[in-house]
Copies of this chain bind each other. A is one copy, B any other.
């Protein structure tokens, strides 16, 4: 059993930091959030309670526990004050190696010696992130997805010097928060999620820029098509089940030639030029402009409905 943390510090009050704070507060855990941009931190003092309370409406948290957590939700006046006495410090500053290295260096100077410090990076190398820390044993990557208070997956990526006990403790915290941690066997740039997402995103950009399909039709095609298989079984299992009893071996016999044909034709560019960025932004805005708040609410409602459905289907299966 992991002992529950007495206090969480979240360093960085952007979308991801707010999500971590909402998640931890919704479990009744005391959270202090800090951002060197005090405007961002003050906005978080409004947004985090709102996001934590949405979890009550979604029946993912109970009112009593959320409100107890929110009573102990504070804005840190300084990094020192935020981090002091925290058992778990969550770094969620800008996705940029130098910013994160600096954040780690500063956090480590003031953190309790028993604190575990995790980075929310979506793909920077852990060894580089922790390079300036004296004690890298308590540092590791815990990469959540957006929004962190809803999506269960957290990728865990230890560095070469991470203490296995710090990994175990982080896993315990995450499980106590209802998250599902998956630990990578070794670090690669982008980890697992970022690489797969990058492969998807590049092809989705390319199909729009090549005028094969409009942005909203593409999103509907993915969400009502292959994403359902990926969400219910994952890619490998989807194909293992795709060819009857013979499994992946027969699948490859039947469809490898088709895949090999497609692989050769996929987008392989590595940079999105300014005029392509502009065209992409225009295409996305044509589809969705002025609807961000409404679309986010609808997405979160669908996401919650889907999570509950998956949880019920899984518990039926084991019950």
Contacts and interface: CB of A to CB of B under 8 A. Distances in A.
Interface of A: 14-15, 94-96, 122-123, 145-146, 150-153, 155, 180, 182, 184-186, 188-190, 192-204, 207-208, 210-245, 247-249, 252, 254-272, 277, 280-281, 284-285, 287-289, 292-293, 295-296, 298-299, 301-310, 312-314, 316-317
11 contacts: A95-B255, A145-B225, A151-B229, A194-B262, A196-B226, A199-B200, A223-B233, A228-B307, A241-B292, A252-B277, A302-B313
A296 B307 CA distance: 19
Nearest to A303: B232
A189 to B, nearest CB: 5
Contacts of A200: 196, 199-200, 226, 230, 235
A248 B284 contact: yes
A119 to B, nearest CB: 14
A145 B233 CA distance: 14
Please give me the 4 A-B residue pairs with the lowest Cβ-Cβ distance, nearest first: A219-B234, A153-B225, A309-B309, A227-B230
Nearest to A208: B236
Number of copies: 2
A258 B299 contact: no
B223 A182 contact: no
Contacts of A240: 284, 288, 292, 295
The interface centre, meaning the residue of A216, A233, A245 with most chain B CB atoms within 10 A of its CB, is A233
A264 to B, nearest CB: 5
Contacts of A190: 258, 261-262, 265
A123 B289 CA distance: 32
Given A247-B285, A263-B269, A277-B252, A306 B204 contact: no
A259 B292 contact: no
A242 B197 CA distance: 13
Nearest to A242: B146
Given A292-B241, A295-B237, A226 B193 contact: yes
Contacts of A230: 200, 222-223, 226-227, 230-231
Nearest to A261: B189
A79 to B, nearest CB: 22
A260 B277 CA distance: 12
A212 B192 CA distance: 8
Contact of A266 (B199, B264, B310): B199
Contacts of A224: 151-153, 180
B241 A218 contact: no
Contacts of A94: 254
A151 B222 CA distance: 11
A100 to B, nearest CB: 12
A144 to B, nearest CB: 9
Nearest to A254: B95
Contacts of A271: 260, 263
B207 A195 contact: yes
Contacts of A214: 185
Given A195-B203, A213-B184, A226 B256 contact: no
